[in-house]
Structure 1
Amino acid sequence: MTKPDPKVVQLIEENAQCLRANEPKDYDSILSAIGDGQIVLIGEASHGTHDFYSHRAEITKRLIQEKGFTIIACEADWPPAYRVNQWIKSTSTSTIKDAEDSLRDFTRFPPWLWRNKVIVDFLTWLRQYNENINDRKAKVGFFGLDLYSLQSSREEVLKYLGNHAPDLLRLARKNYRCFDRYTDEHEYGVCARANITTSCRKEAIKVLTKMLERHAEIVANEKSTETELEESFYAMENAKIVREAEKYYRHMLDGGQIAWNIRDTHMYDCLKDLLEHHGPGTKAIIWAHNSHIGDARETERSRSGKLNIGQLVRERFGIEKTYNIAFTTYTGTVTASDNWDIDPDFKRVRLALNESFEFLFHQALVKSPSLSQHGQYFLLFRSNNPSIEISKELCQELRKQRLERAIGVIYRPRTERQSHYLDASISAQFDCVIHIEITRALRPLEIHPTWAEAEKDHIPDTFPMNV
């Protein structure tokens, strides 16, 4: 076992700030460090951890109430997220019964990312918050930034044109018919990339061009209502998704870099569109995995040419207008699958590797009675508020590259080093890190029998844990 680095452990102990259960005031230093930032990115070290979701929701509530943030933009598909947006703003023309019903369209793998109890409770809070706001523009919105929804997005474009622009509907149907010969997006990507058939690139661009022209006309028309502007914007973004998803699936076999960059660039562009659509001064909160919201330039991914939305936001808005918050854990449980597109399981998270940041954070916690009492704390690496003191020595030490764990929707403990760790400079990658020693698996709304059985058999870890 690697021996502790006493200097670094001591620095972490000296600068760590405890987080107690059900004490929102403990986030005060984080809120102060965010300052007047316009974009706050809040991550997660896995896509299936209750504690990450819960803390993220509570921080978001305070950003909304105290700092006027009105956009929540997520690593989620645009169409199903927009159904949620309609419900929390009470603008839906259809009957959506409650928060769980608003999440109905999140059916694509992995559904538990959004169909879980933490999200239901948070959306219920959002709906109640918005009901007390009379100004429609001041209501908080919920949006998806992702591009996987090729099929559902093109259906939404056609639906919009059928209701509002029958003259363009024929052209859109003709061009989008190009995708009909494929069972799904993946089949399209394989066939187009292998030149088995011609791509639908030109057809997607033709429709997008017309949608952009139509939206520009609606924006320029002083008689356009807010409803017309909103519906046009929603449809235009769907047309953009069809274009970008076509490109993404066509390049998904080329290797990780190209497809990854297409996706994260689209997420940034969608965020930019949301901010422009909602007007000057709009503030946005981004919910996505740590691997998306941290600055990619401070990880090994930069060497392979990968960028991410966290990097793009810092570069194009200026770091002083942004703030990103990451999560880490030492051990616990997680909801994840063994492979893509299969049912989730209740999995134990292995103890963090000795060469990792998570292990350092663990060492500091078990050596400090005050930290181990609560099992969670945070470290600040940067502040937009000059009154917040930041330890330069701590930042310098944690800028040295170490391993950092990242669990997605798939978790493979047997190959954890190869599958779930990357080299990173954590204090440069993130502005704040919240460490939770023992985390709990996210509980899906739909419980699979294997998940329930594993949860039943699990024996929780307890403090103190051996170093």
Structure 2
Amino acid sequence: MSTAPGPNGGAPMVAEVRSLSRPLSDVTDLDPLVARVHGARFVCIGEASHGTSEYYQWRALLSRRLIEEHGFSWIGVEGDWPDCWRINQWVKGEADQHLDAVGVLSRFERWPTWMWANREVADFLTWLHAYNLARPGPARVGFYGLDVYSLWDSLWEVMGWLEANSPDALPTALRAWQCFVPFGEDPHLYARSTRLVPTGCEPEVVRLLVEVRRRARETLGDEEMLDVVQNAEVAANAEHYYRTMVRGDRQSWNVRDHHMVDTIGRLARHGGPGSKGLVWEHNTHVGDARATDMAREGLVNVGQLLRERHPADSVALVGLTSHRGTVVAAAAWGDPESVLAVPEGRAGSLEALLHDSLGDPAVIVFPDDRSGPWLSSWMGHRAIGVVYHPDREARGVGNYVPTRIGARYDALIWLERTTALQPLHHEGRPTEPELETEPTGF
């Protein structure tokens, strides 16, 4: 391990990093982090990429401890509600019990499937399924999707529920459906059409949402009501998202993150007073946007909005990052995935500083006073998306988000070398996926 400050931070900065860090080699080394976050109602656990095995593994280990030892009762992830609802039903022992975790995850079809259909997630869900089945039904831990992309899938779910439960409300649903029919199931074709008719199908889906809310509260039990109302919320917000996105308006990012935080609020209310939840998302959603250059663009994110909506001690934000290794990503949206090399952290970056200061994996819990030379400084912090070009990063182009680390997170898990996660299946031929707005530098 290097002892000289070098080009990636002066001696005071290195000293602060070392004073806050504890070695990380097994699950018991998470003790300081568990002690710091277990009292929060919302613990958000990030990742510097969607394709790194160790991020998923350590996030799962931390989550297991918080579930087993401190009663966390639900997990919200950066995934679609209908897909994750099927997982939720399976892990609670309520559906598809003839399948194993791999069989349930094989149903993920939306690109990039490797985000959730991977061996690391399957291992965690296998554990969660067994954990739940040993507990009474009301005490079982849920697994829910927070994202906004599933416009057509969610509309289908709402239509099916209305047909079975409130057939007299079908005309309202059919008006919403028929508005989208000319576009097949292509959200991009629909979104492009709204350039000429700015409101598009918005009035129809809003009326559908109002109707479903009313009918659901009249006729459903709590868990089923959560599903149908959430699908209606997704339909309304997805319509807004795509309509905003196609105009090149970066505010589509805000539409998406507001939707995710509103969903977190519904999950918390569904869990009842005092329920505690875990949020699994990319660092760019978890880490407070006000401590990055996203703020200059007028962008917000999940971590920021949770901190703004809830007392400070009820929200804990945990980032994960590493120095080098391999990752699963694609060369372009919709392309098949590849295992790509992740170069060493750029000189002057957070990753380079932690490598030079520590040299081994560590858990870093931030104190209340974050005015020290490292926690208060701005540094580049690597963020790898589902599309990644390591050659550009090696040339100093992109992938680093200017960050004030002490304000962005409450703790950090640092890993020296990481490896690509293990997809359960490979992507098929290139398709046009659900497009995503990306923050600066990501």
After TM superposition, the score normalised by the length of structure 1 is 0.87
Partner of 2:230: 237
Match of 2:74 among 59, 71, 74: 71
Higher relative helix content: 1
Look up the equivalent residue of 2:380 and give its one-letter code: L
Q: In 2, are the aligned partners of 1:401 and 1:424 still within 8 Å (CA)?
A: yes
Partner of 2:328: 335
Q: Look up the match of 1:425.
A: 404
C-alpha distance in 1 between matches for 2:150 and 2:294: 26
Aligned residues: 421
Contact kept? 1:78, 1:144, Cα under 8 Å = yes
> What displacement does 1:256 show?
5.3
Which position in structure 1 is the counterpart of 2:435?
A: none
Contact 1:103/1:114 (8 A) holds in 2: yes
Q: What residue is the counterpart of 1:410 in the other structure?
A: 387
1:22-421 matched pairs, under 5 angstroms:
23-92=26-95, 94=96, 96-134=98-136, 136-183=137-184, 184-192=186-194, 194-195=195-196, 199-218=200-219, 228-255=221-248, 257-366=250-359, 375-382=360-367, 392=370, 394=372, 396-416=373-393, 417-421=396-400
Q: Distance in 2 between matches of 1:25 and 1:262?
A: 39
Equivalent residue letter for 2:132: N
Gaps of 5+ in 1: 219-223, 367-374, 383-389, 451-467
SS at structure 2 position matched to 1:359: helix
Aligned residue number for residue 22 of structure 2: 17
SS in 1 for 2:205: helix
- 1:29 to partner: Cα distance: 0.4
Aligned to 2:423: 444
- Displaced runs of 4 or more, over 4 A: 390-394, 447-450
Q: CA deviation at 1:334?
A: 0.3
Q: Which amino acid aligns with 2:417?
A: I
1:140/1:362 CA distance change after superposition, 3 Å:
same
8 Å CA contact 2:342, 2:390 repeated in 1: yes
Give the CA deviation at 1:282: 0.9
Question: What SS is found at the alignment partner of 1:235?
Answer: helix
Q: Deviations over 1:49-72 (max 9, x none)?
A: 000000000000000001100110
Shift of 1:294: 0.8
Root-mean-square deviation (Å): 1.9
Spell out, residue by residue over 1:178-202, the C-alpha distance to the aligned partner (whole angstroms, 9 max, x if none): 111114111111111x216860000
Gaps of 5+ in 2: 1-5, 430-442
Write the letter of the residue equivalent to 1:381. Answer: F
Change (3 A) 1:159 1:270: same
* Residue matched to 1:369: none
How far does residue 285 in structure 1 lie from its aligned partner after superposition?
Answer: 0.1
1:448 and 1:237 map into 2 onto residues whose CA distance is: 28
Asked whether the 8 Å contact 1:87–1:96 carries over to 2, the reply is no
Please give the secondary structure, in 2, of the residue aligned with 1:335: strand
For residues 120 and 35 of structure 1, do their structure 2 counterparts lie closer, same or farther at Cα, with a shift above 3 Å needed?
A: closer
Letter in 2 for 1:209: V
CA distance in 1, matches of 2:14, 2:226: 50
Which stretch shifts more, 250-259 or 422-431? Answer: 250-259
After superposition, give the CA deviation of every residue in 1:158-214 in whole Å (9 maximum; x if it has no partner).
Answer: 11111111111232022221111114111111111x216860000100100101111
Q: Partners of 2:369 and 2:251 in 1: how far apart?
A: 37
Instruction: Determine the C-alpha separation between the residues in 2 that align with 1:170 and 1:247.
Output: 22
Deviation at 1:33, TM superposition (A): 0.7
TM-score normalised by the chain length of structure 2: 0.91
- Deviation of residue 125 (structure 1)? 0.3
- In the TM superposition, residue 356 of structure 1 has moved relative to its aligned partner by 0.7
Q: Give, in whole Å, the separation in 2 of the partners of 1:256 and 1:325.
A: 29
Distance 1:449 1:283 in 2: 38
CA deviation string 1:398-448 (max 9, x = no partner): 221111110011111233244311111011100001110111001101147
Distance 2:55 2:249 in 1: 26
Asked whether the equivalents of residues 46 and 286 of structure 2 are also in contact (C-alpha less than 8 Å), the reply is yes
SS in 2 for 1:436: strand
